[in-house]
Amino acid sequence: MIDKLIESKKIKIFTIMTTGRTGSDYLASCLDGVNGVIVFSGKFDHTYFFKDSIERKNQKTLIYNFLKKKKNLLSYDKIEDIDKNININNFKDLFLKISKKKMNSKEFLLKLYETYHTILNRKFKNIRALVHHSHGLKTTKSFIKDFPECGLLITIRDPRANLKSGLESWWYLDVKYKTINHIFFYLKRIRNDFNFALKVKNKKIFIKLEESNLLKTKKKICNFLNIKFDKKMMVATIASKIWNGDKLSKFKSSKGLFNSSVLDNGWKTFFKKKEVMILDMLYQKYRRYYNIKKISFFDKFKLFFYIFLPFNCEILILKNNIFNIKFLFDFYIMIKKILYLQLVLFNIAIK
């Protein structure tokens, strides 16, 4: 059913891409149950079980492996902190009934969505958009390979607030993430993901987390998806169940409403002035959406030296590991970070 509607261009394909802790889960949850849209109950890589887009696999093997690895998408999800309470056996039986015996990755994803939509007793009438939550950069690239004409909904956030949230949220979830390597990873991710989003040629819309609950933003999203505004967009749900935020969030929202605590997460006091200058240099391309200082020639001169200084949060980790073998690895990552930032400062091409 759904594949024919897509072939006839009655349904268009979209995907949600995040650029860090930017509200992609909130956006996906606001589209749950909205008239004219097909969604799924969470983010996943639909190409995980395939070598490439050409490979075809047995439907039974696919659904058994998917339900084994991604059972949380239909039942209790530890990270999203919600139980979808969908009958897994019924889901499996329906999928096998409506799908081909051999499937490629594209067909697999479409039948998962058709099964999910049907199992929740949702109607296919007037459906205009299928919205997948590919989430990360790698999985978004994989999605675009299978659906090259897809539209992109890209969630963004002030990169300095994004970085603070990306560090503290994961530290809050598990202390194992409190490492120099995680800081460096997130520092780069926020820049690299956004750079990709700017360059990709697909039809796209950038959605600022800080404005994601505004009525004008919701209507803008509807126009992009070519659907009528539905008041259900004002409440975040998953499988029609209220979603109040994931386990990484220190502060939960109430009744599926927008979590206003994200509007000011204290990044201005978390980072020192010298650190903010480094971040402003690193995230200059975000200036088109956020109030980030333009870096002058004199700033660059100072930054050359500031870059050699560890961030305050890095100092705390280094002190804790100074008599530990981990310190050697931390020192290695710090050198990599310094080189990376110097390359950005001098506008030398890097990945």
Q: What is the pLDDT of residues 195-228, one digit of tens each?
A: 999 999 999 999 999 999 999 999 999 999 999 9
Contact 65, 59 (CB under 8 A): no
Q: Looking at residue 28, what is its pLDDT?
A: 97
Residue 248 shares a structural domain with residue 292 = no
Residue 256 and residue 304 in one domain: no
Residue 65 within any structural domain of the chain: yes
If you compute the radius of gyration of the chain from its CA atoms, what whole number of angstroms results?
22
Residue 118 is predicted with a pLDDT of: 96
* Same domain (yes/no): 41, 97: yes
d(CA 258, CA 244): 9
Instruction: Report the domain count for the chain.
Output: 2
Domain assignment of residue 284, yes or no:
yes
Residues 332, 223: one domain? no
pLDDT of residue 140 exceeding 90: yes
142 and 18 in a single domain? The answer is yes
8 falls in which pLDDT band (50, 70, 90)?
low
Task: Tell me whether residue 232 is in a domain.
Answer: yes
Contact (CB, 8 A) for 93 and 43? no
Question: Does one domain contain both 223 and 336?
Answer: no
d(CA 82, CA 242): 8
Tell me, what's the pLDDT at 325? Answer: 86
Is residue 15 included in any domain, yes or no?
A: yes
In degrees, rounded to 5, the angle at the alpha carbon of residue 207 between the alpha carbons of residues 340 and 284 is 30
Range of the domain at 334: 271-345
Q: What are phi and psi of 287, to 5 degrees?
A: -60, -25
Helices in 177-266 by DSSP H: which ranges? 180-199, 215-225
Q: Taking residues 129-143, report their average pLDDT.
A: 97
Task: Mark whether 230 and 283 lie in a shared domain.
Answer: no
pLDDT average, residue stretch 33-58: 95
Is 109 found in the same domain as 57?
yes
pLDDT tens digits, residue range 252-303? 777 888 888 888 999 999 999 999 999 999 999 999 999 999 999 999 999 9
pLDDT digits (tens, 9 = 90+) for 274-286: 999 999 999 999 9
In a domain, 11, yes or no: yes
Check residue 174 and give its pLDDT: 82
Q: What is the mean pLDDT of residues 78-104?
A: 94
